[in-house]
Amino acid sequence: MPTTTTSLDIDSPYAVTPDQISQFRRDGYIKLKDVLSAAVIAHYGEIITAEVHRLNTMHLPIDQRDTYSKAFLQVINIWTKNEKVREFCWGQRLARIATDLLGVSGVRMYHDQALYKEPSGGVTPWHADQYYWPLSNANTVTVWIPLQVTSMDMGPLGFARGSHQFEMGRDMAISDESEEKIGRSMKEQNYPLDESPFDLGEVSFHYGWTFHRAGRNVSTQPRAVMTIIYMDQEMRLIEPHTKAREGDRAAFAADVEVGGIMNGKMTPVIYSHS
């Protein structure tokens, strides 16, 4: 049977309860079941995977890569290169959930990135995403969208519950050092590691300052994941004092003045209550 528009629903509201919103703000993340249908994942996942293969620039064997490159193949801003991926990233359902969880009036796109952990792919070391982002406040969220059932042997994303309130380690890039030092801090501070499989259609949302990691992919298939990063539609650009943040400013906010709202051509509003 042909795929129908109804089965490819990426725009209708998904009811997030007050308890789920409270949980997200307390824990720094939440995993939600049945956010996307199997048909949506199959349709857009095939397109995203084809673009990852087309755009990927990492071709070294895994055993010749550094820790970061062993963790996953990373392709950023696919929405700017493929109209169907743009359609997926502009879907109202995910953006509205992000808006409700953050408690803001609307969200902008910051960027998308596909993260494909190949078979034998290494760990994704402990880190917080917002280390890389020259943004003025903590109203940011990464949406982690597995494009298949993600079992433990594939390296699902794991979160340190409540760690978005912990500031030590926020100055560390993803690395062997961050894996060791942040991992030790999470244990010392008694932040539980929530590491569990993802069902098909299950999606996670985490704050930019929530510490997280992922294990190795010891399965025989790639762990295909699409991510979308949203931010408060009123977010402002701050002075990027590190090379990492300078790189992000150049890539995503080159046309935004420091101190100004992030309303550049790369960061449009995706959903707004108003």
Residues 270/90, Cβ–Cβ less than 8 Å: yes
DSSP 160: E
Its pTM stands at: 0.94
At residue 58, does pLDDT exceed 90? no
Instruction: Indicate the pairing of strand 106-117 with strand 193-195.
Output: unpaired
Bridge partners, 160 (sequence order):
193
* Range 114-141 average pLDDT: 95
> With bands split at pLDDT 50, 70 and 90, how would you rate the model's confidence at 3?
very low
Domain residue spans in the chain? Answer: 10-256
Q: Quote the CA–CA distance of 190 and 164 in Å, as a whole number.
A: 13
* Range 17-25 average pLDDT: 98
At residue 4, does pLDDT exceed 50? no
What confidence tens digit (pLDDT) does each residue in 197-252 have? 999 999 999 999 999 999 999 999 999 999 999 999 999 999 999 999 999 999 99
* Range 30-53 average pLDDT: 97
Fold for the domain defined by 10-256? Jelly Rolls (2.60.120)
